[in-house]
Amino acid sequence: MLESLRKYVSGYVALTDEEFRLLADKIIVRSFDRREQLLRIGEVEKYMNFVVQGLARMYFCKGKAELITNIAGEGELLSSSASFLSGTPSHYCIETLEPTTLLSITRDHLDEIYQQSVRIERLGRLLTTQFVMQKEEWEYECIRLDARERFTRFMERNPALVTRVPQKYLASYLNMKPETFSRLKSQLGKRPATGKLFAK
């Protein structure tokens, strides 16, 4: 299980065995069934999680609607990151869509190993940069792309999720009505993606 985390981490920083051990020693494995709540709105996020197996969504409620802000599967980080980093109550809740296994670490343990290894601290810095970039890119895409473009871009990047995630959740994540999502799927879903349309 740790191998997949090691591989993920090496995309950011090359850690020695000893450095990776510092991290591995603080990690706990957590398993959840399908449709379990990992975190509720108003709770403080205690963990940064790496998804080994499974799938989960993060969302908040606006009136009766649930607005999905993130969907994370294998090989991705999953956490209400702003709450985790600031220690303030989470705006979002997290719920599994499939049985899910996570590798988790607490903020206190992370802070402890940051003191012991500047390279792990660099990893923390690079991952935090990544959080900022993802948020920024997401905001830009919501502003610049219309529904059709958002749909196509998502399909190109995450083809596997279409079969795993209920359609209404994907529609919510892409900020479009479920009907729009169905229509786009039948119009564009079968055509091979060229990618050219969306070159910047």
Partner 1 sequence: MSNSKSPYAAALDELHRYFARFTPLSKQEFNEFLTYIEVREFGKKCIVIPAGEVERYVNVVAWGLVRKYLPVRNRELTIQIATEGHIIHSDISFHYRTPSNCIIETIEPTVFFSITYENLQEAYDRFPKAERLGRLLLSDLFVKKDTRYFDQLRKDTRERFLDYVRNHAEMLQRVPQKYIASYLNIKPETFSRLKHLTRKS
Q: Any contact of residue 77 with partner 1 (CB under 8 A)? A: no
Helix (H, G, I), strand (E, B) or coil at 95: strand
Tokens found for residue 62: 């606006």
In the shown chain, the binding pattern of residues 106 to 145 toward partner 1, with x for contact by CB under 8 A and - for none, equals --------x---x--xx-xx--xx-xxx-xxx-xx--xx-
The answer to the question of residue 62 lying near partner 1 (CB under 8 A) is: yes
- Chain positions 1 to 60 lying near partner 1, rule: CB under 8 A, are 60
Q: How far is the CB of 29 from partner 1 (least distance, A)?
A: 26
Which CB atom, from 36 or from 137, has the smaller least distance to partner 1? Answer: 137
- Residue 149's contacts (CB-CB under 8 Å, 6 or more residues apart) are 197, 198
- Give the number of other CB atoms < 10 A from CB of residue 197: 10
The neighbour count for residue 199, using CB atoms within 10 Å, is 6
Residue 139 C-beta: closest distance to partner 1, Å: 7
Could you tell me if 17 and 117 are in contact, meaning their C-beta atoms sit under 8 angstroms apart? no
Give strand pairing partners of 53. 101
* Ramachandran angles phi, psi of 160, nearest 5°: -70, -25
Amino acid at 81: S
Q: Which of 24, 85, 147, 161 binds partner 1 (CB under 8 A)?
A: 85
Task: Please say whether the beta carbons of 4 and 49 come within 8 A.
Answer: no
Cβ closest to partner 1, residue 38 vs residue 52: 38
In the complex, minimum distance from the CB of residue 140 to partner 1, in angstroms, rounded to a whole number: 6
The residues that touch partner 1, with contacts defined as CB under 8 A, are: 60, 62, 67, 81-82, 85-86, 88, 91, 114, 118, 121-122, 124-125, 128-129, 131-133, 135-137, 139-140, 143-144, 200
